[in-house]
Structure 1
């Protein structure tokens, strides 16, 4: 019943709701055309064990093997991918690469799962770069991929791993050609449409409320005149 009552109010006050709706459509179009587009490029890195294996023979007389500490346990590659994700996703590294979490150019790094609890599942590093400029979106993915190789080599040097056992970082998906994202435009446009429709309904109900208030005031002003009319008719009879 309330729904049909609201429809009735809008139909009665169409001359208020219609201009508000037209202004909403104009505002939504303006937002859609003025919000700058965003572009996205993607790259994927894979971590693999070197052909020579995770160990090398040390002193033959002592029969000691030197092993890469990052590969000296199960899921070592997955752990290494997790370490890279944490390093590359830090704000300090992001700033050094010319990006910002809330800036024009930014990127996200994970191993295919946005849930941090699943970082140990796969030895992959997925890089997703975004920017208002298509070339910048592709360039940031390339910089992050190069930084991943540098960071992994640095960590293995710190652990004194034999160079022949270093984990191999392979670009299984080079930075893709940027594609334009429509999510930001559609989100802002939908927000303007929703707010505009609410404003149109509110204006229609406000006009209805004002009209009802004016009708009540006219009715109240007309009551005294109606009550005094019989007295004026009977007055000549009393004078007789």
Structure 2
């Protein structure tokens, strides 16, 4: 099916397509208005080396920002996986952090930086949850080290690099709902239009007579009933299609046939042939031989009389 056929079907079934398109637009606009917007914010934290490790690496200096070794990146990844565990999520929900969040290593970063991303409907509560999540990450890191008997001088610290940012509107999830509501209804309208068109075509094909003639055309009622049909060809001649021959009844002796019986038999054996009117010649003149006035153009033939009435003109 090409593009032109598709457009013709949609045009013919406009009473299905147009209402559903209007309904799809209404559902899309209604979904956009009814569904509340969602917001997202993020904060970034960083792990700092222990005081003993910082002095050893910096030759006695106490500045932890001078030492970001590879072990801190592994520790940051460990902490991120811990924060996204099922037990931690349930604990945070009980503490009031009901928004969805994600913890991951910062992209294109060369240090132990973790990005905490939160998504929710309430902007104020979202900012408070982001700050609470960053604080909980520091508490969790200290608890893990205390459970493993790490001394204070060797413990890794956590600091906040970027505070919670102003929440931004997220349209991705909202657009998904609009596409599902509006686009699904519009697609349903197109499918219904083609289904109705298919059913209509199937009914039209069934309405066409199954019986066809020799050339593949439907048989005419006259030929189906056994009557004689006349079909002129391009040259103006007459082609007779005769019904199947019926066995003739046993003839009576000549002396027993009445004049009426003989006349009726003669009528049944006679065939009438309609001769087309004469055509003009190439010069626009009629045929050279004039027609006798008062005579009919109907001729009779009777095969059973042995040619006695052949070429007899009616009325002569």
What is the match of residue 185 of structure 2? 196
Q: Specify which of 213, 221, 228 is matched with residue 228 of structure 1.
A: 221
Change (3 A) 1:17 1:220: farther
Give the Cα–Cα distance (whole angstroms) in 2 for the partners of residues 135 and 47 of structure 1. Answer: 27
Following superposition, the deviation at residue 129 of structure 1 comes to: 0.8
The root-mean-square deviation of aligned C-alpha atoms, in Å, is: 3.3
Change (3 A) 1:2 1:92: same
Cα shift readout 1:142-186 (whole Å, capped 9, x = no counterpart): 221111111111222233333234323121111112222111110
Q: What TM-score comes out, normalization by structure 1 length?
A: 0.74
Q: Does 1:134 align with 2:134?
A: no
Give the Cα–Cα distance (whole angstroms) in 1 for the partners of residues 13 and 207 of structure 2. Answer: 20
* Contact 2:92 2:98 (8 Å CA) reproduced: no
* Contact 1:47 1:170 (8 Å CA) reproduced: yes
Give the Cα–Cα distance (whole angstroms) in 2 for the partners of residues 96 and 104 of structure 1. Answer: 10
Change (3 A) 1:20 1:104: farther
Change (3 A) 1:165 1:133: same
After superposition, residues 55-94 of structure 1 pair within 5 angstroms as 75-94=70-89
* Max Rg structure: 2
Give the Cα–Cα distance (whole angstroms) in 1 for the partners of residues 9 and 17 of structure 2. Answer: 10
SS at match of 1:54: helix
Query: Can you give the 5+ residue segments of structure 1 that lack an aligned partner in the other structure?
Result: 58-72
**Count of paired positions:** 212
Following superposition, the deviation at residue 104 of structure 1 comes to: 6.0
Cα shift readout 1:90-134 (whole Å, capped 9, x = no counterpart): 1111111117xxx96211111125xxxx9x963011101111222
Q: Which has the higher helix share?
A: 1
* Contact 1:16 1:207 (8 Å CA) reproduced: no
SS at match of 2:119: strand
Q: Does 1:107 align with 2:101?
A: yes
What is the match of residue 19 of structure 1? 19
What is the match of residue 181 of structure 1? 170
Change (3 A) 1:104 1:55: closer
Give the Cα–Cα distance (whole angstroms) in 1 for the partners of residues 54 and 101 of structure 2. Answer: 35
What is the match of residue 97 of structure 1? 92
Cα shift readout 1:209-229 (whole Å, capped 9, x = no counterpart): 2322343344349x9x97435
* Contact 2:42 2:118 (8 Å CA) reproduced: yes
SS at match of 2:10: helix
Larger mean CA deviation between 12-21 and 82-91 belongs to: 12-21
Give the Cα–Cα distance (whole angstroms) in 2 for the partners of residues 48 and 74 of structure 1. Answer: 10
Q: What TM-score comes out, normalization by structure 2 length?
A: 0.58
Cα shift readout 1:27-80 (whole Å, capped 9, x = no counterpart): 222222222221111100011225x442789xxxxxxxxxxxxxxx95121122
Give the Cα–Cα distance (whole angstroms) in 2 for the partners of residues 187 and 49 of structure 1. Answer: 44
